[in-house]
Structures are given as C-alpha cells and as structure tokens.
Structure 1
Amino acid sequence: MDRTLLNTLFGYTFTLLMCYLLFTILAPFLTTMVWAGTIGAISYPLYDKLLARFRCRENLAAVAMTTLVVLALIIPLVGLIFTLARETALAYQYIEGVTSGQSGSFMESILRHPQVSPLLDRIRPLTGSFNLELDSMLLPALKRGLASLLNYSTGIVKNFLGFLIKLMLMLITLFFIYRDGRHFLRRFWPVVGIDEKMRATIATTITRVLDAVLYGFLLTCLVQGTLGGLGFWVAGLPSPFLFGILMTVCAPIPLIGTAMIWMPGAIYLLTQGRILAGVLLMVWSAVAVSGIDNIIRPLFISGRAKLPIPVVIFGVLGGLLAFGLTGVVAGPVIVALFLVFFESYGEKEMAEE
C-alpha cells in the first residue's frame, strides 16, 4: 500500500477517534453548552457595547454581561421552577381528591348543571361510537398531565445540586464565550478550511435563526398572555392584566405553561357556581391560549429566519422530539445549516457546468 495513502488513512482514523472521545466526554454537558452558546450568540452585540464602555477590558465586560444574564434570566427562572413545583403539587392533590371520590359531589354538580348537562348530551352521541366517556376521561387525563409536570418540576427541585452545578457550568461557559469567543473563531475557521464567503454565510445564518427563534418565542408568549388575560376579563375574574402578564411569563414552561395560571382560575369559577364561565374559560384557554403556540410560533420564526414554514415546523418539532427542550433551538439551526451547505454545493455544481 502506498505510504502516503496509509498515512492519510491513519490521520483520518486518529481524527475520528479523537472526535468520538471528545464527544463522549462532552455529551453530558451538551445541553448546558447549547444554551450557553445560544444566550451568548443572541446577547453578543450587547457585550460589544459593554466592551466599548469598559475600554476593551474583556474580563470586566464579560463579568458584567454574565451578571446581567443572571439577574435578568437565571434568577427569575429558578423562582419559576420552585413556584411551579409548589403550585403543581397543590393542584395535583386537589385533582387526586376529586378522582378518589372525596369531592365526587362537586364533580357531579358540575356535570349535572343546567348549563353543562345539555352540552354533554349533545356531545355524547358524537363520541358514543368511539366508546368515549367524557365524564370519566376528563379528570384522569388532567391528573396524568399534572403528574407528568409534577415529576418534571419536583425532579429539578430534588436534584437541585445537579441543577445548580449545570447552571454554574453554563455561566462559566457563557463568561468564556463573551471573553474568548471572537478569538476562538479566528483560530477555528482556518482549521475547518471553509472559504471566507461560506464563513460569513454560516455566521449570518446562525445569528439570524437564533434571533428568529428568540423573537418567535417572545412574541408567542406575549400572544398567549394577551389571549389568557382576555379570557380572564370576559369571564369576570379580577386583575386580568396581571394574570395575563403571569401567563406570558409562564408560557415557556414545558408541558403545562399557561395552564398553571388559567387552570386555578377556571376551578375557582366552578367552585363559585359559575359553571358555564368556568367551562368556557377552560375550553378557551386549552384551545386558544395553550394550543396557539404550535401555530403562530413557526409563522413568527419563519418570517424572521427567512425559512419556509414546513422547514421551521419540522426543525422545531423534530428537534424537540430528538433533543428535548434544547432541540427547540438546535433543530432550526441544524436544518438551516444543512440548507446553506446544500445550496452552496448546488451553486458550485452549476458554476462548473
């Protein structure tokens, strides 16, 4: 065998082996690194302004920027997680009492209410052929959803030490992204061997998609909070503006999100004898408030990221299924980079013809 070919094969094998070992080492921290990279990429323009304000003292600017992230994002997030765990536990205990028969008379009074009973009588013939018993399905389904959320939130609280370690690692990574990110990229691109035009395209695409994901994320939360506050106002509940803000804040929470605000409101209406208002608020919130994010989020992201809507939908949902919550960010970025390389290869082929 030719000596040069043997050396090339050995070099590639060694490189692949080192990449595999590096991935194995970093795999437990990929989620932490992805979120640190996302926050760093989105907030880097603000870091540049702080760097200029601190007269190019990189350490001081990086510390200041990381502190801002902690105050604006991390502390509210931790508070939300503990609040979620507490409120979900209370809601689960209540639903547990209802499904175990301790509050059976309450549930029966709702189902037999003059305003609810005719609606159920109209729905039952439509669901009868599927053997669906709405009475017995509603609370168990709600109980299972709350149980999943309870396991998720209390799991974080119980493993708070592990959560805290990952949080500290994310902040440390974020600090070095701010301080050394620009210097790392200067050394990284020559090793990859990509031409200057492609480098600029990749950097622009990543920044644009991340910005679009954040933009769509925030706008979707605002829309959900607005619709939720509108539902509270129509239902006659107090402080609809305040509860709308709370739903905006809670919208990003996985699994239940805004339901931790509107569900207690609907239950309060039911316990006060306002059965129709409680049921309508529950239906409106479940369909319009909690369900609308699956429709409008891809629209917001698509327009700003300059990507087709199907690409965004598959990127977000596929990323979510493959990587969990991190995939909401990673999915669209991966799909967008694939399209960049695909289009670049197509342009080269056309130029050669």
Structure 2
Amino acid sequence: MKESRVAKYFLVFLLVVLLYLSLLIILPVVKNIILALVLVFAFYPVYDFLNKYVKNKTLSSFLMLFLILMLIIIPGSFIIKSLISQSNTAYSFFIKYDFNELYQYMPEYFAETIQLQKYVGDLLLNVKNFIVSFTPGFITSIAHSVLGLFIMFFIMFYAFRDGKTWVVKFEEYLPLKKEYTKKLLLDGERIIGAVLYGYILTAIIQGSLAGLIFFLLGIPNPVFWGFIMIILALIPFLGTAIIWLPAAIIEMLSGNYFSGIILLILGFIVITNIDNLLRPKLISKKADVHPAIILVGVIGGLSVFGFTGMILGPLILTLLIVIIKFFTLEFQS
C-alpha cells in the first residue's frame, strides 16, 4: 500500500517536471504553433473541398500549404514593409498639415481647447512606434525566419492531413463525460468560427476595402490607414468611420472635392454596410460573442503577441470561456 502511494506521488512529480520542461521547449514557438492551427481551421473547408477532387490527403495538404504561402505569407511580408514605411510618412504628413483650414469651420472655443493636431499627432506617434517596435519581431519569427516558417508549415501539413484523427484522440483523452466532450468540441468550433469569420474576417475585409478605396482615390498611405481601420473595425462602438470620415472632410477642405465626395458616398454606402451585411451571415445566433471579449482580446492580444495577437487574443479568450463553462458543468454534475 505504501509502495503504491509512493509510486503515484513519483508519477505525479515526474508528470509535473515533464510538463514544465515541455512548456520551456514549446514556449519559444508557441505563437507559430497557434497561428498554424488558426490558419488550418480557417482554410479547412477549402481543404475538404479540394480533397473531394484530389482524393489524396497528402497531396491536398501540400496544395493547401502552397495556397497559404501565395495568399498570406508572401503578400503579408510586402504589406508589412509598406506598413512600416507608410506609418512614418503618415505621421510626418499629419504633423506638417496646415489645420487652419479646418479650424475656421469650428467654433473658436473648440479650436483653441481641443488642440486636434497635438492630440491626434501624439496618437499617431504612439501607433507608429507600436508598428515599428513589433514589426521586426514579427518578421523575424514568422515571415523571414526559416525556422519559424518550417514549424508553421510542418504543423499545418499534419493538421490538414490528420486533423480529424487528432480531434478523435482529443475526445478520448479529455477527462469529461462523452456528451460534454462532444458539446465542448461543437461549441468550441462554432465560437471559433464566429470570432474568426464573423469578427476578424469581416474587419479585414472592411479595413482592406477602405484602404483600397484610399489607394484608388489617391489618398496618401493607404496601407497604413487600411491597417488602422482593420483594428478599429474590431473594436465595438468605434469602427472605420473614425478614419474615412475625417479623411473625406480633409480632402474636400484641400480642394480635392471629387475624391472627398466619392469617399463620403462609398464610406456610408459600402464600407459601413459591410459589417451589417457580412457579420449576421457569418455568425449564428447561438455562437454570438460579446463585444467586450473582442475588445479586450484585440487590445491585450496586440500587446502580448504583436500583429498576430489581433487574431489570437479574441480566439484565446473565447476558448477559455467555453472551457470554463464545460468544466463547471462537469464538476456540478
């Protein structure tokens, strides 16, 4: 009896030590692993569709890696380079811009009290410093690092090919009742889909389209403003109008009436309504996520993970809430 108890304590001790050492090993590449799994989840419907015709899981997985490389990794590297350059240009342009034209349309009290150029200039400086400080690490760990890319693609390949087997194994090892396990996986899948497609994808489409409109109308630094609008589209009660509406006004005050009016029209009719059209279709009522979780997830995720935190933050928080909910049900029963 005593030997049996000693053996149990030894196994628990060994497990804790191995978990700690495993954590130390995984920690440097955890961002790559999580991002790889998120990409697999996002593109898995495409993989399923492709595999119906290819009928070879290994070949379909390789084709998906090539597709992700072409659609995300390579364009993402160029976009990040443009983002660094344009963040500096946008800040310099704003600091040098003559705000007297704008102030003459404002009551004298507001013009003297608000000090728009100072406040927005300080905000842009902080945004610029944030982009510059996080970008080198992001490029090193994800885009330009051979090791980072290898880990991501290695995980993605096996996740595409063997993902369904992993889920079955996960069900077997999870210490919950079977009915709770299945419901946990279904709810987790539904909520991850809601965050990924309903919030993040919608924000990326909205901000990217707004940035494209800026580019077509000849408004400076469209990549920078597009990125800012993607973040704002994720934050409840703010939205992209904080950028495109003042931009349209500044264009008209600068004498560019055509681009200013077109931006106003497209802003109200197209950019604003993307959110209203796409999100309800991409999120089921059962999988709706509270806006506060998205807000905290985006801001906290950006602080912890950098650019990728914009996606990882909300996903991690929503998953945590789902898991807490089911563990509570398990312990109550």
**What TM-score do the two structures reach when normalised by structure 2?**
0.71
Q: Judging changes above 3 Å, is the alpha-carbon distance between structure 1 residues 301 and 25 closer, same or farther for their aligned structure 2 residues?
A: farther
Find out whether 1:214 has 2:201 as its counterpart.
no
Query: Residue 123 of structure 2 aligns with which residue?
Result: 141
Alignment of 1:146-185 (within 5 A): 146-153=128-135, 156=138, 163-185=145-167
In structure 2, the CA distance between the partners of 1:153 and 1:322, relative to structure 1 (3 Å rule), is: closer
Larger radius of gyration: 1
In the other structure, the counterpart of 1:67 is: 66
Q: Give the RMSD, CA atoms, in angstroms.
A: 4.7
5+ residue gaps, structure 2: 235-239
Going from structure 1 to structure 2, the CA distance change for 1:88 and 1:314 (only over 3 Å counts) comes to: closer
C-alpha displacement of 1:40: 1.5
Matched, 1:190 2:178: no
Match of 2:44 in 1: 44
User: What is the correspondence of 1:111-150 to structure 2 with a 5 Å cutoff?
Assistant: 111=100, 113=101, 116-117=103-104, 119=106, 121-123=108-110, 127=113, 133-150=115-132
Q: 1:166 to 1:328 in 2, by over 3 A?
A: farther
**CA gap 1:312/1:336 in 2 versus in 1, 3 angstroms:** farther
Question: Residues of 1 paired with 2:84 and 2:158: CA distance?
Answer: 32
Q: Residues 228 and 120 of structure 1: is their aligned pair in 2 closer, same or farther, counting only changes over 3 Å?
A: farther
- Within-5 A mapping of 1:309-320: 309=290, 312-313=293-294, 316-317=297-298, 320=301
Q: Secondary structure at the match of 2:106?
A: helix
| Structure 2 CA distance for aligned equivalents of residues 336 and 43 of structure 1 | 22
Structure 1 counterpart of 2:301, which letter? L
Q: Counterpart of 1:336?
A: 322
1:301-333 residue CA offsets vs partner (Å, 9 max, x unmatched): 875562562673476358527743022221211
Identity of paired residues, percent?
20
With over 3 angstroms needed to count, the CA separation of the structure-2 counterparts of 1:342 and 1:313, relative to structure 1, is farther
Q: Match for 2:82: what amino acid?
A: T
| SS of equivalent to 2:4 | helix
What CA distance in whole angstroms lies between the structure 1 residues aligned with 2:28 and 2:158? 19
**Which residue identity lines up with residue 170 of structure 1 in the other structure?**
M
Q: State the TM-score, normalized to the length of structure 1.
A: 0.68
1:251-270 to 2 correspondences below 5 Å: 269=251
- Unaligned ranges ≥5, structure 1: 349-353
Q: 1:83 to 1:224 in 2, by over 3 A?
A: closer
Provide the rounded CA distance (Å) in 1 between the counterparts of 2:136 and 2:246: 19
Give the 3-state SS of the residue equivalent to 2:314 in structure 1: helix
Q: Which one-letter code corresponds to 1:306 in the other structure?
A: A
Asked if the contact 2:203–2:230 (Cα under 8 Å) also holds between the matched residues in 1, the reply is no
Q: Which amino acid aligns with 1:181?
A: G
8 Å contact from structure 2 (residues 211, 223) kept in 1: no
Partner of 1:200: 182
Is the Cα contact below 8 Å between 1:212 and 1:304 reproduced in 2?
Answer: no
Q: SS at 2:68's partner residue? A: helix
What is the CA–CA distance in structure 1 between the aligned matches of 2:43 and 2:140, rounded to whole Å? 31
Paired residues, number:
312
Task: Give the stretch that moved more between structures: 139-148 or 311-320.
Answer: 311-320
